[in-house]
Amino acid sequence: MKFALCTISFRHQLISFFELVDFAKQHGFDGIELWGVHADRLYEQYGMGRADQALLQRRLAQAGLKISMLSDYLELSSHEGFLQALQRCEHLMTIAEWLGVDRIRTFAGRLGSKEISPSERAVNIHRLRQLGERCRLRGMKLLIEIHPGTLTDSLDSTLDLVCAMEEEQIGLNFDVLHAWEYGRDVSDTLSQLKPWVQYFHLKNVALPSQVHIFEPANVYSASGTREGMVLLKDGVVDYKSLMEQALEMDCYASIEWFGPSPLKVLGEEIRWLRQLQGQAQAVEV
């Protein structure tokens, strides 16, 4: 398993991309997951001129880093929104090709599995298949994130979704905390979804009653509450046990920190994850 930081951790801070590259290199990260808005800005700044493009790619290569994934939100709920999503997907794939990325993250709609009608569900799945096929034709994989309020809000709904689509078209971004919200053993959930899992998001919360702090309206608000956001080792999800199972997988895992002092916290988190990785490798030997 390789580890990445998310640029979304710095959505409310003034910090340059190259500062993040230097930080990631110094702390032993393998990659950087680019939030869609940040990917747009980076492409506008460096993607239009050959000299600028070479500079960015050279800095990444010198740091031994790769862009692990582009994370965005492709609309499925309306015809007009989906037409825009198709255009957005094409633009993201252009940026992904420029950066050498083969994964684009999105969500499975805006309605939970118990809120959506069978006909709406079928339309959303059809639209995800269209997006996934477009990505496949350009050598990429569309990853659907496990998330409440979408069609991946339960194990049964997620299994129905992935089984309704071609394996070559889509994969899953296994958000561990949101999988924990299924209300069942996370390790067993991972075992059942493992054939489709190609990425992980890692975050934790102090108390079960605080999971609402990760709702988009709160997370993306500069004035939203951060109370309850804790280190991976300190929250309700038993990451030590889960990572023993997940570390053997050949994929990226991003530390998705939304709280204060991201540089300090990300440094602590990567040290802890590397310790777990080292212990697991020692046991194998």
**In the chain, where do the E strands start and end?**
2-6, 31-35, 66-71, 103-106, 141-145, 170-175, 197-202, 204-205, 229-230, 252-255
Report helix angle 155-163 to 186-193, nearest 10: 10
The active-site residue, picked from 79, 91, 147, 212, is: 147
Asked if 48 and 62 touch (Cβ cutoff 8 Å), the reply is no
101: DSSP letter: -
Helix (H, G, I), strand (E, B) or coil at 100: coil
Task: Look up residue 198 and give its two tokens.
Answer: 């190609």
Residue 146 DSSP one-character state: P
Residues in Cβ contact with 164 at an 8 Å cutoff, skipping those fewer than 6 apart:
125, 129
Give 163-191 as a DSSP string: HTS-TTTEEEEEEHHHHHTTSS-HHHHHH
The tokens for 217 are 């309206």
Angle at CA of residue 268, ends 253 and 226, nearest 5°: 80
| CA atoms within 13 A of residue 44's CA, in its CB half-sphere | 6
Neighbours of 216 (CB within 10 A): 12
Q: Tell me whether residue 212 is one of the annotated catalytic residues.
A: no
- Residues annotated as part of the active site: 147
